[in-house]
Amino acid sequence: LVSRKWKVQPTTIDLGDGVQIGEGSLAIMSGPCSIESEPQIRSMVNHLKENGVRIMRGGVFKPRSSPYTFRGMGIEGLQLFYEVCKANGIKIISEVMQVSQIEPMYPYVDVFQVGARNTQNFNLLDELGKVDKPVMIKRGISGSIDELLQSAEYVFSGGNEKILLCERGIRTYETASRNTLDLNAVPILKEKSHLPVIVDPSHGIGIRTYVEPMALAAVMAGADGIIYESHEKPEEAASDGQQTLNFAESAALIHKLRKTFELR
């Protein structure tokens, strides 16, 4: 069902209020790895508005490698996130880690994110198939392109056709970067599937200074959107600060992303 053989026309995901993701435009989604506080949300919303970005990312349930690190503000954080964004016309994408979180999160998110550690959580995918809100599925840490498509197939066959595919880097033998951003996946996914393809260069390379070149390369490779981490003070971020852009870097990237998309 997610294959081009079944549907040739590219799928566009409509988030309402004039925000669409799909071929013909470049979706930009940015925000902190973790939602931390109301002032943090407000400063980020202002940054996004100043730069014409309509979708904010931010996790409130965080899949952390160590249980002793910050694990997110939970549903209260999401409510704060929602109140500020709703008042400012900004759409929300946030990670859902387990089935029981779908219902409490539902009123507050515009897109459910399935993280790389949950790409093959088939119970979660089954349940998201019953939801009428878009789902962005990240490629598994060691997942193949076909496995990502099969995960999307779970959601689609369950009845939810609003799916975004996300390349976020895979684990390889390379140690110079956090992950290896597999830009091969972009043209391959675009040819195999009618679903929009998003690239996450932040987790893809994991090093702040290299996020920009990989983001721009992803646009040239054919991505329909970029999702990256930004924060007013990345050094103070509760998670993933090492791969997070500050506002000046983020504004410069947004400008270059749009210029690059025009060249395509």
By CB under 6 A, name the binding residues for ligand PEP: 33, 59, 63, 115-117, 138, 168, 200, 203
Task: Report the C-alpha gap between 133 and 30 in whole angstroms.
Answer: 19
To 5 degrees, how large is the angle CA 239–CA 242–CA 245?
A: 95
Phi, psi of 213 (to 5 degrees): -60, -35
Does 200 help bind Mn ion (rule: CB under 5 A)?
Answer: no
User: Which among Mn ion, ligand PEP, none contacts residue 168 (Cβ within 5 to 8 A by kind)?
Assistant: ligand PEP
From the number of C-beta atoms within 10 Å of its C-beta (0-12, 13-18, 19+), residue 107 rates as exposed
Any idea which residue has 């956090």 for tokens? 178
> Smallest distance from the beta carbon of 115 to Mn ion, in angstroms?
9
Residue with smaller CB distance to ligand PEP, 23 or 226: 226
User: What's the min distance (Å) between Cβ of 65 and Mn ion?
Assistant: 11
Nearer to ligand PEP, 63 or 213 (CB): 63
Distance (Å) of CA 191 to CA 1, 10, 185, 223, 245: 14, 10, 10, 12, 31
**How far apart are the C-alpha atoms of 23 and 172, rounded to whole Å?**
30
Give the x/- contact pattern for Mn ion in 230-249, rule: CB under 5 A: ----------x---------
# of chain residues touching Mn ion (CB under 5 A): 2
The residue at minimum Cβ distance from ligand PEP is 115
Tell me which of 33, 131, 149, 226 binds Mn ion, using CB under 5 A: 33
CB of 235 to ligand PEP, least distance (A): 18
Listed ranges 29-37, 88-96, 168-176, 193-201: which one lies at the site for Mn ion (CB under 5 A): 29-37
Nearest Cα neighbor of 98 from 122, 80, 79, 81 is 122
Q: Which residues bind Mn ion (CB under 5 A)?
A: 33, 240
